[in-house]
Each structure stands twice: as C-alpha cells, then as structure tokens.
Amino acid sequence: MLFFPQARATGNDIIDVEMHGKDDGAHVWFDPAGIHVEPGQTVRWTNRDPGNSHTVTSYHPDVFDRPLRIPANAKPWNSDYLLPGQSFSVTLTVPGVYDYYCVPHEHAGMVGRIVVGTPQPVAPSAVDPSLTPLPDVALNGFPPVDEIIAKGIVRRV
C-alpha cells in the first residue's frame, strides 16, 4: 500500500461506483469514472439515478460481440439493467485495465475504467471486423491509465 500514498481506493474490500443522471436524462455518468484497486478487491456499482436504468457491462467478445478491453484471462460481466437503488458487484483478481460501459448510454459516453494492481503494457490486438467497435464518444470517455494510477480516483463530474 505504501507504494500508492494518494487517494487510492484501498483499505476497504468494497469500492463503490455510482450511476448518476441529470433529472431530464440529458447527462449520465459513472462516478468515479476511473478507479485504481488491488487484485482481489470488489467493485460495487449502484444506480443512484431515480429516473433511469443503467447497466455496467465489460467490453468483451462474449458480451454483445464487443472488442476485448479487459485482461485476456479475466471473466467478463454484464449486470443487465439496474433499477434505481439496485447494485451489482464484481471481484477483480487479474491485474490489468478493465473498460466497461452502460448499454443504453454508451453512445452518450457513459463508460468507466478500472485499473487493477500494476498492469503490464498490452500490445493492442488486431481489429476483428465481426466485433462492434466503440463509438468515439466512448473512446474519449476513459480516463488515462496513468492518471488513474497517479490519483487513485478520477471523477468526471
């Protein structure tokens, strides 16, 4: 732990991320958008938006044919729709970078990133034309890995 003296999301086995939205549904987001956790920690997402449903869904070929954006040997997940107040948790054991999105709001840029441990740089994999690529608004929504590691928590509010 001493290697990461800043606001790193440690000291607790469960790290909370909330799903939020503005009253009229014009803006939706994960808060924090980026977190740095230890291998073995659990991340829990809770829908705090009274007027909408959200999902937390990993980018993985096995889930809706999306590009792989979690470690190759990590298990993908999809929470399905969470109504206001509902939660979904995942325990992350494989170090690396995990990118995820909200199914109805990917095109509104509702994405997030988790850095587990100290990831090794990964060579980008070849583009598979059978997988649906990410829209630019999603690609631009991930906090940089360096910033997440440096700050521990990155918020986009």
Partner 1 sequence: MKMVSAALALMLAGTWPTLAQEVAKAPPPGAFKAVSSLVKLPDFLPGMGQLFVDPATLPAGPFLAYDHDGKLVSTIYMLPIKDLNPNKRFDDLASPGGNVDHVSVYYNAGHPGVEEPHVHVVLWHVAKADEARVAK
Catalytic site residues? 60, 102, 105, 110
DSSP 142: S
Binding to partner 1 (CB under 8 A): which residues in 46-105? 50-53, 80-81, 83-84, 103-105
CB of 85 to partner 1, least distance (A): 10
Q: For residues 17 and 34, what is the distance between their CA atoms, to the nearest angstrom? A: 9
H or E stretch covering 136 = helix 136-139
Is 111:33 a contact under the CB 8 Å cutoff?
Answer: yes
Q: How far apart are CA 95 and CA 114, in angstroms?
A: 10
User: For the chain, what is the radius of gyration of the CA atoms?
Assistant: 15
Q: Amino acid identity of 111?
A: V
Contacted by 26, from partner 1, Cu ion, none: CB < 5 to 8 Å by type: partner 1
Write down the residue that tokens 């990917």 correspond to: 106
Contacted entry of partner 1, Cu ion, none for residue 51, CB cut-off 5 to 8 Å set by kind = partner 1
Closer to partner 1 at the Cβ: 84 or 117?
84
Chain positions 8 to 47 lying near Cu ion, rule: CB under 5 A, are 28
Closest CB 7 distance from Cu ion, rounded Å: 25
Q: Which residues bind partner 1 (CB under 8 A)?
A: 21, 23-28, 50-53, 80-81, 83-84, 103-105, 107-108, 110
